[in-house]
Amino acid sequence: MTKRLVLATLIVLFAVQPAHAGFAEIARAIDAHQGVNRIYIPLLGLARFAVRVVAPEGVHDFQLATFEGAADVDARELHAILKAKIGPGFTPLVQVWSRRQKEWSFIYARPHGDGKRIELVVLTHDHSDTVLVRVEVDANKLARTINDSPRGVIRIASH
């Protein structure tokens, strides 16, 4: 009986998680890149489910993939993967890199279907770690946060 309950709970958890093919395709393509390995994050699915239920600070959904072993990865190669796999409707917001420090970030955005949310995809690299994040946020809360404290947003983004 307990095994059936656990199995049913897992099926429900995975069923309520929407599929975002662009994110999965990007993550798989980066993972397939020579010398890059995706790092498994335990209980991330449970955290994602909790965010979808609670929507803290206007965050309605997220996906996260981390990679290691990308110290010598060319930013242009991963940016090309991102642009090719991201899907329709995304607009580049931020594209920065420091060749000297081998750090770079790419942020793309598109409006969500309901018009009240915005979907952001961030691909960033710092020394040897690479992170891919997709987040769906309340557009009004994001705008208020930027308007109320633009330096705070910059401070948060720089960490």
* Helix (H/G/I), strand (E/B), else coil: 1: coil
Q: Which domains does the chain have, with CATH numbers?
A: 20-157 (3.30.310)
Quote the pTM value: 0.76
* pLDDT tens column, 135-146: 998 888 877 777
Instruction: Determine the distance from the C-alpha atom of residue 73 to the mean position of all C-alpha atoms in its chain, rounded to a whole number.
Output: 19
DSSP labels for 40-69?
Answer: P-TTHHHHHHHHHHH-GGGEEEEEEEEEE-
pLDDT tens-digit profile of 86-131?
A: 988 899 988 888 777 678 899 999 987 777 889 999 999 887 788 9
